Structure 1
Amino acid sequence: MNQETREVTAPAEQLDTPIRNFSLLLSPTPRGARLARLLATEQLRTWGLPSQPAEQIVAELAANAVTHGRVSGRDFRLTLHVVGAALRIEVTGTRGDRLPYAQEVAPDGESGRGLLLVDALADRWGVAHGPTPRKTVWAEVEFRVTGSRPSPRRCPTDRPGA
């Protein structure tokens, strides 16, 4: 496992807001996807950020990379960027020819809901191409500061009727 972590100070006008970065390569296996979720959760805890909804987003994107983007012998990359009150989650895989899309799923279907969950939990998400043969699926979550600890901008339990 290759891990790179760095913390960089923002430009002069944002000196009180650090830029945080965490990136590592993981094996394209169910174990690698699980490890992505666990390590992301631990890194967010270290940074003093809430783990939800980011933990679930990482779990879904990593599972998709392992299930739909796997190429034998090629790892996938998990990257977390925090700039100010925004967290960007990126999962880079080696199957740029297979683009993700949210799909309707039968009520009794056993899979296919991952991107629907990402869409519901993230403020934004999308796909960045390249360099060939790679693609990066990313999701962003913005936090609001309440007291001394940031909290997610929205949470599934905040919705009416939940």
Structure 2
Amino acid sequence: MSRNSSTIWLPRSRRSPAIARQRLSVLLSSTPNGDRFLDSGLVVTTEFVTNAVLHGTPIGHLIYFALDVDPTRLRIEVHDARGDRLPALSSPGLDGETGRGLHLVDSLTKRWGCCPRRPVGKIVWGEVAA
């Protein structure tokens, strides 16, 4: 079974989601049939990294971004330093401008979740099925 992975440390920056998307695109382009994960993977990557930048990483801390892909699934992980801010599905209302991203993640992934990272922080992860 062919398997590819990639990791990178990202700064707390507005540029980080784009850097993560580029990393995902490069990984999937070098993976046989990796293109079948691309669209959903880009959305999930953007949501997880954006949330880490906006809500999960205090100034001065880095975000750890990890990808693992095999023929059956793409796993996306984002590690940040805020263990007290856990992601949750919300009801933003009709006029709300935020709060819909995790609903997209929920619809595009086979499963996703969050777990503590020791000694501090959390890991938000999702798996996109082929």
What is the TM-score normalised by the length of structure 2? 0.91
The counterpart of 2:15, out of the listed 24, 27, 31, is: 31
The counterpart of 2:6, out of the listed 22, 35, 40, is: 22
Asked if 1:117 corresponds to 2:104, the answer is yes
Is contact 2:4-2:27 (8 Å) kept?
no
Whole-angstrom CA distance in 1 between matches of 2:98 and 2:78? 20
The counterpart of 2:87, out of the listed 95, 100, 103, is: 100
- Structure 2: runs of 5 or more not aligned: none
Could you list the per-position Cα deviations for residues 95-132 of structure 1 after superposition, in whole angstroms to 9, with x for gaps in the alignment?
Answer: 01111101011111111111111001111000121112
Matched to 2:52, the amino acid is A
Q: Which runs of 4+ in 1 moved over 4 A?
A: none
**What secondary structure, in the 3-state scheme, does the structure 2 residue paired with 1:24 have?**
strand
- Structure 1: runs of 5 or more not aligned: 1-16, 144-162
Matched to 1:26, the amino acid is L
Whole-angstrom CA distance in 1 between matches of 2:95 and 2:65? 31
Q: In the TM superposition, what are the counterparts of 1:1-162 in structure 2 within 5 Å? A: 17-48=1-32, 49-50=34-35, 51-143=38-130
> What is the alpha-carbon root mean square deviation over aligned residues?
1.2
By percentage of residues, which structure has more strand? Answer: 1
What is the TM-score normalised by the length of structure 1? 0.74
By percentage of residues, which structure has more helix? Answer: 2
Q: Which has the higher contact order (CA 8 A, sep 6+)?
A: 2
- Matched length: 127
Task: Report percent identity of matched pairs.
Answer: 35
Q: By how many angstroms is 1:19 displaced?
A: 2.4
